A and B are shown apart, each in its own frame.
Chain A
Amino acid sequence: MNEKAPWWVGILGWGTAFVIFLPILIIAITAFKTEQDAYSLSLLFKPTLQSFNEVFERSHYLGFVSNSVYVSLGSTIASLALAVPAAYSLAFFPGKRAQKILLWMLSTKMMPAVGVLIPIYLLAKTTLLLDSITGLIIIYTLINLPIAVWMAFTYFNEVPKEILEAARIDGANAWQEMLHLLLPTALPGLASTALLLVIFSWNEAFWSLNLSSVNAAPLTVFIASYSNPEGLFWAKLSAASLLAIAPILVLGWLAQKQLVRGMTFGAVK
């Protein structure tokens, strides 16, 4: 497999990639058109920043972005802080219930959010967590926790057991074991877990739309004010969409190697 693939494989690969990427390409182009030009697919147009200016004038974009960043990072850190010890415990002290516990954790993700919105809304209201970043962080942490535990569990499982046995004979305790042996070995995997959690939190649109209004509103709320307005709107919509997905897209691309390595949930052996 070291030789180059035949030319048509390259064409096929690039062709498929282009088709899959096309929708994103279209908004990336439309964002720089005027509203009048936006409705034709022509590539002959004078690029303009008009739509971006309008979007910036209308919405406090940086406010939405920073909320998105706080919420994604906050919930990712919290998820990992809870998940790593749990995964450690499940991986190295499996017991009879380990599998059942993992299964059960995943099953909590199957609860449809729409069915429990009102209970959660009322709880958030009572605890004064409506429209607060803390509130969203708590929700996202809970949503992502099962995935985090499972992924971390997978990485810990890949750590050669002999090393741990040796360390234990040397009298290392569990904390030392985790800090000095496990974390370094599993770190790349945990980094990719973190990335995946950031992506999921960034793109979550149901809870953010319902539990935040001003103080905690992330980019999903920002987008909701550009969908379906009156009149010509494709260019503005494209500009806003591009602004909403660009940060996470760039992050995803930069970190894709990492992501590819880690996002296998123990599937690749």
Chain B
Amino acid sequence: MTQQVLNATVAPLPPGETLTPAAQPRSKLPLASLMLTPSVAVLFLWMLVPLLMTLYFSAIRYNLLNPDQTGFVGIDNYRYLLEDPAFWPAVGHTLTLIGSVLGISVVGGLLLGVLFDQPFAGRGIARLLVIAPFFVMPTVSALIWKNMILHPVYGLWANIFRAIGLQPIDWLAQYPMWSVIVIVSWQWLPFAFLILLTALQSLDQEQKEAAQLDGAGPIRIFVYITLPHLSRAIAVVVMIETIFLLSIFAEIFTSTAGGPGTETTTLTWLIYSIGLQQFDIGIASAGGVIAVVLANVVSFFLVRMLSKNLKGEYEK
């Protein structure tokens, strides 16, 4: 998927217009790589050093509370983690969380985008309100939701339910995953909304009007003109959000702490719990390595999936 998005960012230049290295004086190339080197170098170190240390820790016995026990254990930490009954469910929860939040924020963002593309009174101010959650610290937003919205006794929902004569629902215990998804979506919906709205506004009106003259209804226009136009923006939303959602942490920490049971234990949370609640750095490191591998697998499949859907757009 990342590949697609990059294509998207590079694509606007039709081949003829691209500045091919041949078209430039060769003497400038060393300077170009000189400019690129610092970023690449620091990121390379940032990736390599922790990764090597993590790989190393993942192969030794290292418990912070028991540092006397040391020694090389081979793949024991990995085996231990993979045998953990919470491991595969955690992978599943991670995917559920990412998938649901992506779905909600893209669909919701689209609907909101279409709505806010209409010129209603006070739209500018209403838009400020809609984007506000994006600026809220994850910790704070989870605290607000947990205590003031979803609390089964004092929360907003409990009050609404009681007012209409229903038994309040204990959201975080009965529907923990949905609660987390809602909290996270609340934060990322504005992001999707912003990007999709901008994309909508850049849509060529003449094209739409031409289609209207040809007798196309609003739904057909949306499906055949608007959506293809938005596909690049959607790909960007999906990619950026996936990167951030893979490592989602503060929301779970504050709202459900991975529970009840292991209902909301994502891979990130599982690693956190092993590493920093149970202080087994060896196993947590093994988890870190597995998480890196899985993250790359996820992105690989997303590339495949999205590239199929978006092919038309890029085969210009």
Contacts and interface: CB of A to CB of B under 8 A. Distances in A.
Contacts of B198: 260-261, 263-264, 267-268
B102 interface: no
Interface residues of A, number: 106
A4 interface: yes
A186 interface: no
A149 B35 CA distance: 12
B240 A110 contact: no
Interface stretch (B51-59, B166-174, B213-221): B51-59
A17 B130 contact: yes
Contact of A86 (B19, B38, B126, B246): B38
B190 interface: yes
A88 B28 CA distance: 12
B137 A203 contact: yes
Given A10-B122, A83-B39, 9 more contacts: A90-B36, A101-B36, A113-B247, A115-B284, A158-B12, A223-B139, A265-B9, A265-B236, A267-B232
Contacts, number: 325
Which 4 A-B residue pairings sit nearest by Cβ, starting from the closest? Answer: A115-B288, A85-B35, A119-B53, A266-B9
Interface in A88-138: 88-90, 92-95, 98-99, 101-103, 105-120, 122-123
Nearest to A84: B35
Interface in A177-223: 199, 202-203, 205-206, 219-220, 223
Nearest to A99: B6
The size bracket of the interface on B is 35 or more
A13 B285 contact: no
B115 A252 contact: no
Contact of B250 (A24, A173, A206): A206
Interface of B: 2-3, 5-10, 12-13, 17-19, 21, 24-25, 28-29, 31-33, 35-36, 38-40, 42-43, 46-47, 49-51, 53-54, 57, 64, 112, 115-116, 118-123, 126-141, 143-145, 147-149, 154, 156, 159, 186, 189-191, 194-195, 197-199, 202, 205, 232-233, 235-237, 239-240, 243, 246-247, 249-250, 254, 267-268, 271-272, 275-276, 281, 284-285, 287-289, 291-292, 295-296, 299
Nearest to A153: B9
Contact of A9 (B10, B118, B202): B118
B35 A88 contact: yes
A174 B32 contact: yes
A237 B146 CA distance: 12
Interface of A: 1-5, 9-10, 12-14, 16-18, 20-24, 26-27, 30, 39, 41, 82-83, 85-86, 88-90, 92-95, 98-99, 101-103, 105-120, 122-123, 141-142, 145-147, 149-150, 153-154, 157-158, 161, 164-165, 168, 173-174, 199, 202-203, 205-206, 219-220, 223-224, 227, 234, 237-238, 241, 244-245, 248-249, 251-253, 256, 259-261, 263-269
Given A10-B121, A24-B136, A269 B232 contact: yes
A89 to B, nearest CB: 4
Nearest to A39: B154
B contact face: mostly helix, strand, loop, or mixed: helix
Contact of A174 (B5, B31, B127, B128): B31
Contact of A5 (B12, B119, B133, B249): B119
A184 to B, nearest CB: 18
11 contacts: A9-B115, A17-B127, A24-B136, A86-B36, A94-B19, A106-B243, A118-B285, A119-B53, A142-B46, A245-B135, A269-B232
